[in-house]
Amino acid sequence: MADLNGKTILVTGASRGIGTATLARLLQEGANVVAHYNSGVGGIAALVEEYGENRLLPAQADLSDRQSLDGLWQTAVSWKAGLDGVVNNAAVIDSVTPEADDDEWRSRWDHVMAVNLTAVADLCRHAILHYKTRAGGAIVNIASRAAFRGDLPDSIHYAASKGGVVALTRSIAKGYAADNILAYIVAPGWVATDRVMPKLTAPGNERLLEEIPMGSAAPPGEVANIICFLLAGKARHATGCTFDINGASYFH
């Protein structure tokens, strides 16, 4: 599908869900991958066993801490003497509604923005500066359907953070295309991950699946396929574009 032999890619939030599916696909296509995680290696461990430490490097970092994030970048860029691609996949939801007290609302809002938007911006900045010393490179930022159609009351901050990711990515694509720096947005709807499926199958939440014309959440592997396709340079002139994966539940 996508020839990524010899390319080195950083994937954040790689221990589960879309991140682990992306790792597996990248490795199948010949890439070397720096796999970021925060609290546990999760699905990364089995892939290290299968592909070896020369192909896959686990790297821990708390993306809400800028010093930790900068350390992750240095680890990633030093491993194989450079990076060809970055996938900003890591995100938190940290649900809270406007009815919460001030301290809870503000602390959760700040945490979501720190991980979902500020960390993405910092890693994009690192990538831009790095790619300008090379022949360019690719950035794939994982946004969300929520960036375009909004989200539930307990996820207003999540939707806002993903809207910021969209604007950030389009600005990078526009500003740095001449430097051969390509930036893409992948915007999933409901994806069948271990974090999402309990919510979709909970009693009373039937309407969440009913709004999807295809009738089911997207497999994580379908999101991974799009990410790998873009990193392989198969659609260079689509830089700045959004790739929706939501079972026809929304078109922006």
Domain count, the chain: 1
CATH number of the domain residue 146 falls in: 3.40.50.720
Distance linking the first and last C-alpha atoms of the chain: 27
pLDDT at 214: 81
pLDDT beyond 80 at 198: no
Residue 252 lies in a domain: no
Residue 1 lies in a domain: no
- Going by pLDDT thresholds of 50, 70 and 90, the confidence category of residue 199 is confident
Residue 212 lies in a domain: yes
pLDDT beyond 80 at 192: no
Summarised one tens digit per residue, pLDDT across range 76-96 is 999 999 999 999 999 999 999
Active site residue 158: yes
pLDDT beyond 60 at 111: yes
Summarised one tens digit per residue, pLDDT across range 202-229 is 787 777 777 888 888 889 999 999 999 9
Greater confidence, 76 or 251? 76
- Going by pLDDT thresholds of 50, 70 and 90, the confidence category of residue 23 is very high
Summarised one tens digit per residue, pLDDT across range 172-187 is 999 999 999 999 999 9
pLDDT at 225: 96
pLDDT at 1: 53
Residue 213 lies in a domain: yes
Domain of residue 131: give its range.
Answer: 8-245
Query: What does pTM read for this prediction?
Result: 0.94
Q: Can you say whether residue 100 is alpha, beta or left, with left for phi > 0 and alpha for psi between -120 and 50 degrees? A: beta
Give buried/exposed letters for 236-249 (b at 16+ CB in 10 A, else e). eeebbebbbbbbeb
**For residues 121-127, average pLDDT:** 98
Residue 3 lies in a domain: no
Residue 251 lies in a domain: no
Residue 64 lies in a domain: yes
pLDDT at 75: 98
pLDDT at 175: 98
The catalytically annotated residue of 37, 131, 158, 176 is: 158
Residue 100 lies in a domain: yes
